[in-house]
Amino acid sequence: MNEKIKIELPNNIQLFIKREDLLHPHISGNKFRKLKYNIQEAIDKEADVLITFGGAFSNHILATAAAGKEYGIRTLGIIRGEEILNTFLDNPTLSLASKMGMQFKFISRSEYDKKSDYDFIEQLKTQYNACYILPEGGTNDLAIKGCEEILDESDSLFEYVCCPVGTGGTISGIINSSSKEQKIIGFSALKGNFLEDVICKFVTKKNWIINNEYHFGGYGKVTDELVSFLNQFYFKTEIPLDPIYTGKMVYGVLDMIQRNEFQANSKILLIHTGGLQGIKGVNKLRLKKGKGILQYL
């Protein structure tokens, strides 16, 4: 599923993209990988409800709802922000998740911050006794095991593998299954320099770095420049990218190529981690502000 990207590049560099976004219509990209062994575990443990956490536009929330529907397990999404309680059906992500049978609990931002605390989790386990709890973003050991299947043997020909980073689970799986001669570059979708410490807990190899330069102002921030880049990229390549994760990574990689930050004659593999469902929500917010939108999907 690697596609060569047909754009002119300097220094005889070749760019390929692994279309993980095409794995499943709703459990797309890294979500498919992260959920695979978790769903198996939930079934083995005879869980009757999958509980997870996310913001109102979360890819992980929608993917969990779709996985629950596909495997016949109830799903509960604990959503950050009480203010959307009465309007959530106007939100494209939550309305689709709801159609797939997910139920929601909307909690305040301060309560949401406690979502990983022992007491918070124990309370959930008491309330829903046969539950299987997935963390925000879906990253845990089984998710990383699933992400180790993103690269296969034939990918060892790439000198560089690039992927977007949020909670660090996806890149950790990729690092674990990479060869030590490859260089793995993660493009952070968040502002700050904390991801290295998170990833170090999941990996032992040293063949990776996190680039913190292409978050466009922080998580979820979508600028006019980014929108215009993504529209142009789509019109040139017919590859749709999401503006929160993969779009920022591809912008970063192309910028780094122009700055000669990759070795000449190298082959670079980009991992398309999905997230295209979020475009509707981003476009809705941009239209409200009278701004240009992503013109695909």
Q: Which is nearer to ligand PLP, 273 or 283 (CB)?
A: 273
**52 forms part of the interface with ligand PLP (CB under 6 A):** no
Closest to 97 (Cα-Cα) out of 53, 134, 138? 53
Quick one: which segment of 43-51, 69-77, 167-175, 220-228 binds ligand PLP (CB under 6 A)?
167-175
**38 forms part of the interface with ligand PLP (CB under 6 A):** no
71 within 8 A of 47, measured Cβ to Cβ: no
**281 forms part of the interface with ligand PLP (CB under 6 A):** no
- How many residues bind ligand PLP, per CB under 6 A? 19
In the range 190-249, which residues lie near ligand PLP by CB under 6 A? 242, 245
What CA–CA distance (Å, rounded) separates 104 from 98?
8
Residue type, 285: L
Instruction: Write out the DSSP string of 108-148.
Output: -HHHHTTTTSHHHHHHHHHHSTTEEE--GGG-SHHHHHHHT
**169 forms part of the interface with ligand PLP (CB under 6 A):** yes
**Would you call 249 exposed, middle or buried from its count of C-beta atoms within 10 A (0-12, 13-18, 19+)?**
buried
Quick one: which segment of 10-18, 75-83, 226-234, 271-279 binds ligand PLP (CB under 6 A)?
271-279
Closest to 283 (Cα-Cα) out of 247, 243, 248, 253? 243
What CA–CA distance (Å, rounded) separates 182 from 281?
36
**59 forms part of the interface with ligand PLP (CB under 6 A):** yes
Q: Which residue is nearest to ligand PLP (CB)?
A: 275
Q: Are strands 208-211 and 183-188 parallel, antiparallel or unpaired?
A: parallel
Q: Which is nearer to ligand PLP, 68 or 168 (CB)?
A: 168
What CA–CA distance (Å, rounded) separates 273 from 240?
11
Q: How far is the CB of 137 from ligand PLP (least distance, A)?
A: 4
Q: How far is the CB of 32 from ligand PLP (least distance, A)?
A: 11
**252 forms part of the interface with ligand PLP (CB under 6 A):** no
**273 forms part of the interface with ligand PLP (CB under 6 A):** yes
Contact with ligand PLP (CB under 6 A) among 5, 13, 30, 161: 30
28 within 8 A of 280, measured Cβ to Cβ: no
Residue type, 5: I
Q: How far is the CB of 66 from ligand PLP (least distance, A)?
A: 13
Contact with ligand PLP (CB under 6 A) among 91, 93, 170, 182: 170
Q: Could you say which DSSP state residue 10 is in? A: G
Q: Which is nearer to ligand PLP, 30 or 64 (CB)?
A: 30
Closest to 269 (Cα-Cα) out of 236, 246, 286? 246
Task: Give the footprint of ligand PLP on this chain (CB under 6 A).
Answer: 29-30, 59-60, 137, 139, 164-171, 242, 245, 273-275
